[in-house]
Amino acid sequence: FEAKVKADKEAAVKEYFAELTASVNIDFLTFKHTGIEVNLSTTEKKYKEECQVFVSRVQDDILLIQAVDYPAETMAEYKANGLNASKAITTIRDRKEAERLEKERIKAAETAKRTTALRVKNFTYSDLTKSYHWTGDESVSIEVSKLENMDSDEFMKFIAGVDILILEAKQAEEQKTTAPTAAAPIAKPVQAPVEVKQEQKPVEKVFIAQFEVSGTLAQLKSVGEFLKANNITYKNI
């Protein structure tokens, strides 16, 4: 008789739990998740109240998870590991941070490797253009941002193109050295420079101007040379 009473009570509580989860559209919960062990001494009403509290907590957990980064992965972690929202959020956050750091490490190592390859090919860095330029022809260049983000095949194609240019430049130099030497031009007499008396200029007030310059490589280099020649302090924005 007691076993029959207990079975009926458990069936009623489970049915109530199923109706409750369906009403709030939560389909991944089972009665086992509640941890409720039905006995004879506890009333059916008490068990139903426990079901309500449990489902309400899960609803709050779902709302919290939906508001954080990576909600889908966090929800999967939540379902797989005991319905612990705070632990699921921390686990996914730490995992994503570890992935980010590893990606940055790999990217930095690859960028350093590519930079070394460029310097071997006689590329120099310009802080004005934020690019590496080939000394043989400074129009042959690659921006740092592109160097960091291009895939391996694209970078290898760029290096292969540079190798062709280096070979062509070497062949042109060899042809120049084997060609007959032209007669040297007669040097013109050099006039002594006229000494110009410089007047002492008053100290002028220094102003700060911030602007962005767009132009060809030659134009930007001219701007940079002008700033340096006139001792004008500048920095990239």
Determine whether 127 is exposed, middle or buried from the number of CB atoms within 10 Å of its CB (0-12, 13-18, 19+).
Answer: exposed
Rounded to two decimals, what is the model's pTM?
0.63
State the pLDDT at residue 58: 96
The crossing angle, in degrees rounded to 10, of helices 85-120 and 44-66 is: 20
More confident residue, 208 or 102: 102
Quick one: what percent of the chain has pLDDT higher than 70?
Answer: 86
Q: φ and ψ at 230, to 5 degrees? A: -100, 15
Kind plus residue range of the DSSP H or E element containing 149: helix 144-149
* Cα radius of gyration rounded to whole Å, the chain: 38
| CA–CA distance, 148 with 105 (Å, rounded to integer) | 12
Residue 200 banded pLDDT, cuts 50, 70, 90: low
Determine whether 165 is exposed, middle or buried from the number of CB atoms within 10 Å of its CB (0-12, 13-18, 19+).
Answer: middle
Residue 195 pLDDT > 80: no
Residue 80 banded pLDDT, cuts 50, 70, 90: very high
Task: For residues 111-131, give the mean pLDDT.
Answer: 91
Whether the Cβ atoms of residue 55 and residue 20 lie closer than 8 Å to each other:
yes
State the pLDDT at residue 189: 52
State the pLDDT at residue 153: 93
Q: How far is CA 237 from CA 55, 129, 165, 209, 216, in A?
A: 54, 11, 33, 11, 18
The crossing angle, in degrees rounded to 10, of helices 2-23 and 44-66 is: 30
Q: Which segment, 11-20, 176-185, 212-221, is predicted with the most confidence on average?
A: 11-20
